[in-house]
Amino acid sequence: METDRRAEREVARRRKARRGQTIAAVSTLVVLGGLAALTLASPGWTVLRESFFSSDVFVESFPDILEGFWLDIRVFLVVEVAVLILGLAVALVRTVEAPAIFPLRLIAILYTDVFRGIPTILLVYLIGFGVPALATAEDGGATPLSWLPTNEVLLGGAALALSYGAYVSEVYRAGINSVHRGQRDAALAIGLSEQQALRHVIVPQAVRRVGPPLLNDFIALQKDVALISILGVAGEAFRIAQIQASSDFNYTPLIAAALLYLTITIPMARLLDRWERGRAVS
Amino acid sequence: MRASSPGGAVLEIRGVTKAFGELEVLRGIDLTVHEHESVALIGASGSGKSTLLRCIDLLEEIDDGDVFLDGEVITDPSVDPVAVRRRLGFVFQAYNLFPNLNVLDNVMLGITRAHGVGPESAEAQARGMLERFGLAGRERDHPDRLSGGQQQRVAIARAFATRPRAMLLDEVTSALDPELVGEVLAAVRDLKAEGVTMLLATHEMSFAREVADRVAFIHEGRLLEVGPPEQLLAEPREPETQRFLRRLLAAGRV
């Protein structure tokens, strides 16, 4: 009797699962098929295809863009490391309550408030063009600030690091504040100082917690590396694509660049999903 | 000013008051804990037992009065709280183990970082302590792999590892499933057998009777009655104490 009920339930469960799969497949086909039909049937499709998805242009432009993309990846990696360090430093300055660092704390608060509010593109302009202006006199001679760097990649990278550092410091700070008070109590109770408690107990737990939101910010950063193209950085993927696109009024090279960005951001997004799922289980 | 002779005062609490905003939690507590003595704090939830322990370990700042450790005032603003906490051991109700560290590192952290012991002897010390509390073989596990009772025993090992002058135990069995209470009480009994000076807040009257040399009843931030367990728990003088014990009796907790 008992085994019968078990078998019945198993059959019902399978039937339900099968029905769900069928509905999902049919509705996907209808929605995607409908969208595709609508696009392909529209009179503008041939123009769109030629100017954005031309296979000839794609093949021709792709090797140069791919080469440029290597610069993007290097900039991304260096900026990411800088952001991780800057963000943590700012978050720590805002967390530690020692009166001696009050001026630093003030600067840190001002920094996070202002730099999160400014559009990243403006920051890239401001630093990318502003700093070289400070470093060069009108007659081309030396100024007191001649030691400032004028390299576009460096300045563009610095602008991105400052912009993202402000976001990431807030992510870290949220992580630090989310560590239970009892952890600080326990760290103090075994005789650690406030700083030791932060270093050995609070920050390691905070960093672990903010992994997923940090990765999210890095997906955004990876795309925004393209912003340094506005400084005229030669050899950057998006810049190369822009030049190619404007030389023959075909936007396919930009699509080629976008595909390259996706090869990085999509795996990162999936990694993030898996990470968060894993944490939800544990 | 040092009282180090056997039976001398280790902890002296003098007129301690503490308020959180409008709420007066401690209203003038006087209590002395002598060397090798164990004193149990009993009283209803919110009576101020935990706050008193936290104030002694300088996790909370007191408003008035003073606390002395081995005859030296520890609640003066000029005293370094970190140095004081290194001489005391504290065990929390919720264990508060560090989830980012394994069991061994939980115990070692204070030995190495707070007491400056080299890694090798610190590890030997920590392993010895874990073995003593029945945790040999669990050194590499992270706290979340352990039962509540095991976690609390690690917490006791962590607090006791550096041989503090006194152990402060804050309701160490209150967060445990009933079947796990016994192993933690055994660990405390073990400390008592060694003559460790202890001040412990507890809900377990049978336990207070067993390990406490004296029991102190706290009611609404005041210490109403102190006495040996056989007297205080059996024939309390104060009406509030009688009422408290009657309520516990009715709830089957004595």
pLDDT digits (tens), chain A, 282 positions: 567 899 999 999 999 999 999 999 999 999 999 999 998 888 888 888 888 888 888 888 888 888 888 888 999 999 999 999 999 999 999 998 888 889 999 999 999 999 999 999 999 999 999 888 888 777 766 777 777 887 888 999 999 999 999 999 999 999 999 999 999 999 999 999 999 999 999 999 998 889 888 888 888 898 899 898 888 877 788 888 888 888 878 888 888 888 888 888 888 888 888 877 776 554
Q: Is residue B1 part of a domain?
A: no
pLDDT recorded at residue B5: 43
B182: containing domain: 9-250
Can you tell me the distance from the alpha carbon of A20 to that of A203, in angstroms, rounded to the nearest whole number? 45
Q: What is the CATH number of the domain that holds B243?
A: 3.40.50.300
* Chain B residue numbers touching A208 (CB-CB < 8 A): 100
Q: Is residue B42 part of a domain?
A: yes
Whether A185 and B92 lie within 8 Å, measured CB to CB: yes
Alpha carbon distances (Å) from B254 to A67, A241, B170, B172: 78, 81, 19, 17
Nearest CA distance, B234 vs chain A (angstrom) = 35
Query: How many beta-carbon pairs below 8 A join chains A and B?
Result: 63
- The pTM score is 0.82
pLDDT recorded at residue A2: 60
Q: Is residue B3 part of a domain?
A: no
ipTM of model? 0.94
Q: Is residue B57 part of a domain?
A: yes
Q: Is residue B4 part of a domain?
A: no
Nearest CA distance, B109 vs chain A (angstrom) = 8
Q: Is residue B74 part of a domain?
A: yes
pLDDT recorded at residue B1: 38
Region B91-110: mean pLDDT is 96
Q: Which amino acid is at B40?
A: A
Q: Is residue B127 part of a domain?
A: yes
pLDDT recorded at residue A261: 86
Can you tell me the distance from the alpha carbon of B91 to that of B157, in angstroms, rounded to the nearest whole number? 9
Whether B59 and A189 lie within 8 Å, measured CB to CB: yes
Q: Is A259 exposed, middle or buried (0-12, 13-18, 19+ CB in 10 A)?
A: middle
Q: What percent of chain B has pLDDT over 70?
A: 96
pLDDT digits (tens, 9 = 90+) for B187-200: 999 999 999 999 99
Number of domains in chain B: 1
Tokens linked to A137: 């006199």
pLDDT recorded at residue B197: 97
By CA distance, what is B169's nearest residue in A? A189
Of residues A150 and B230, the one with the higher pLDDT is: B230
Contacts of A232 (CB under 8 A, 6+ apart): A152, A239
Region B62-91: mean pLDDT is 96
Helix, strand or coil for residue B186? Answer: helix
Shortest CB distance from B110 goes to which of A185, A190, A205? A190
Q: Is residue B2 part of a domain?
A: no
Nearest CA distance, A83 vs chain B (angstrom) = 24
